[in-house]
Structures are given as structure tokens and as C-alpha cells.
Amino acid sequence: MKVDILGTEYTIEYRSITEDPKLDGIDGYHDSSVNLIVIAEMQREKNSKKDLKAYQKSVLRHEIIHAFLYQSGLDNCSSVYGGAWAESEEMIDWFAIQSPKILKAFQEANCI
């Protein structure tokens, strides 16, 4: 799958941990050097989330936010002001979790 992120084409791929050892211990990643977002192919396990498809979508949103911040030049400049806020996983999670709700509010308010 391809997605446009601020004028840069990114490839989104779903891979297994066997296929991509970088996924060991993580659910996805953003590789800015090759404009790639990789999401783990998740299998139901004892401690896994109940709705893996919904969780994969949230991981994809998370990695897309990383890509937007990178393409905006914020990944390497954010540490100038006391911490790399643009690389903060907590901040990225907030955007990824809230973005569907923000989009819905914008649509309801007819402001996009």
C-alpha cells in the first residue's frame, strides 16, 4: 500500500517477525531512510489484544504520525527546547489515538 505524507510517497507493509527481525518486541516502525512503514502481522496469543485488526490500525496511525513529524523536519529539531517532544512515544500515541476523534469533530463542524 502507498500513502502520501506531505508530498513524499511512503510504502506501508505488513510483515511477520520471521520476515523482519526488527519487529521483535515492537508492533511497527517507521524507516525514514527508505520512506517505509512496517506493521507487524499479529497472531492471537494468550496476552494479545482482543481486536487485533483495530489494534493494527492504531499502530499504523502511530507510525504515520512519526512519518508526518519526520517529513515536517520536527524529528531532529525538537530536542532544542528541552527534549525530543516530536519523538516522544507518549505524544505520538496521543495523536494516533485522538486523530479519528479530531477528524470526526472537524467533519461535524464542517471546517475541513
pLDDT tens for each residue of 23-42 = 999 999 999 999 999 999 98
What is the predicted pLDDT for the residue at 45? 79
pLDDT tens-digit series, residues 42-83: 888 777 788 899 999 999 999 999 999 899 887 766 555 556
Q: 21 vs 45, which has greater pLDDT?
A: 21
What is the predicted pLDDT for the residue at 51? 87
At 88, is the secondary structure helix, strand, or coil?
coil
What Å distances lie between residue 85 and 10, 77, 110, CA to CA? Answer: 23, 9, 30
pTM for the whole structure: 0.83
Give the CATH number of domain 2-108.
1.10.10
